[in-house]
Amino acid sequence: MARVRGPAGSKRKLGLWLKEQRTNSGLTGKQVANELGCGDPKVFRMEGGHAVPSKLELDRLFDVFGVSDDQERDLIRQLAADAKSRHWTSDFESVMPPKFDIYVGREEDASSIYVYETHLIQGLLQTQDHMRALLAATNPQDGAEDVERLVEFRTRRQQILEREPEPLSLWVVMDEAALRRPVGGIEVHRQQLQQLLDITQKPNVNLQVIPESVGAHAGLSGPFSLLEFEPDEPTMVYIEGQGGNLYLDKPREIRRHKLLWNHIVDVASPTATSTRLIKKAMEELSS
């Protein structure tokens, strides 16, 4: 059974199909735009997964690209319908960071995510009490009710680790400093560390820690995530920051961050050693 694709993933898939068809037809974006009676920026927005053609536009594109197979047409029409569907993140628009639904959609559609964290426990691995304390501290402008909605939102995201038929494959590398920060107090932090030990028993989750004894390394430039999709979809780099979130998909950026990731993994402790570091941090909470 194929995994259900969300609206963001459907837009991305549809955009890749449109670009492939245009390229195979030997047409420029301007030529396709002329056929649709629109500006060429709209064509590139559709190909980039940022806009969805109307039914009439899609039917015209089938003719322009010479797509005559009824089964293929029906599949693409369904993909376009899925791309326009309402996503669950719309229930959290009032508290969700601007345009963060883009990331969540791509997070859901990813087959594998590789995350490097410098000073935080990765969001998909957090307990609710840890989330509550962290989100209250990092969103001082929000009231308790909004913080609870953010906790609900993040908890909902964690379901991708249990999704069927293919749970997300998550590989996290973090600095040991993240294990030492008692977010929410000692007891909440103890429960969070136990959560890390429990969750890494899942076959689809791998966790490694970079010991404090390691000096300068490739990850000190900052945290990032590498999202991998189906074989025909390009990898994406995601970088979150106070000044806004970055989505990078240029081959040069992908190569650079894959190289960074390899260097980061090289200095991280193996999984078994990382587990011992987590247990040691728990023991020190009792001393």
Task: Write out pLDDT tens, residues 131-160.
Answer: 999 999 999 999 999 999 999 999 999 999
Q: What is the mean pLDDT of residues 79-92?
A: 91
Q: What's the start-to-end Cα distance of the chain, in Å?
A: 50
Q: Does residue 56 share a domain with residue 189?
A: no
Helix 29-36 with 40-47: angle, nearest 10 deg: 110
Task: Write out pLDDT tens, residues 36-82.
Answer: 999 989 999 999 888 999 999 999 999 999 999 999 999 999 999 99
Q: Regarding predicted confidence, which is higher, 105 or 207?
A: 207
Query: Band of the pLDDT at 104, cuts 50, 70, 90?
Result: very high
Distance (Å, whole) CA 79 – CA 6: 10
- The pTM of the full predicted model, rounded to 2 decimals, is 0.85
CATH of residue 203's domain is 3.30.870
Q: Does residue 201 share a domain with residue 63?
A: no
Sign of CA dihedral 268, 272, 273, 276: positive
For residue 124, tell me if it sits in a domain: yes
Query: Band of the pLDDT at 235, cuts 50, 70, 90?
Result: very high
Checking DSSP bridges between strand 169-175 and strand 112-117, what pairing results, if any? parallel
Q: Does residue 218 share a domain with residue 268?
A: yes
Q: Is 266 left (phi over 0), alpha (psi -120 to 50) or beta?
A: alpha
Q: Does residue 262 share a domain with residue 204?
A: yes
Say if CB 101 and CB 89 are below 8 A apart: yes
Q: How far is CA 23 from the centre of its chain?
A: 28
**What is the span of the domain harbouring residue 54?**
7-83
Cα–Cα distances in angstroms (integers) from residue 265 to residues 219, 269, 280, in the given order: 10, 8, 21
For residue 21, tell me if it sits in a domain: yes
Residue of 21, 33, 79 whose CA lies nearest to 57: 33
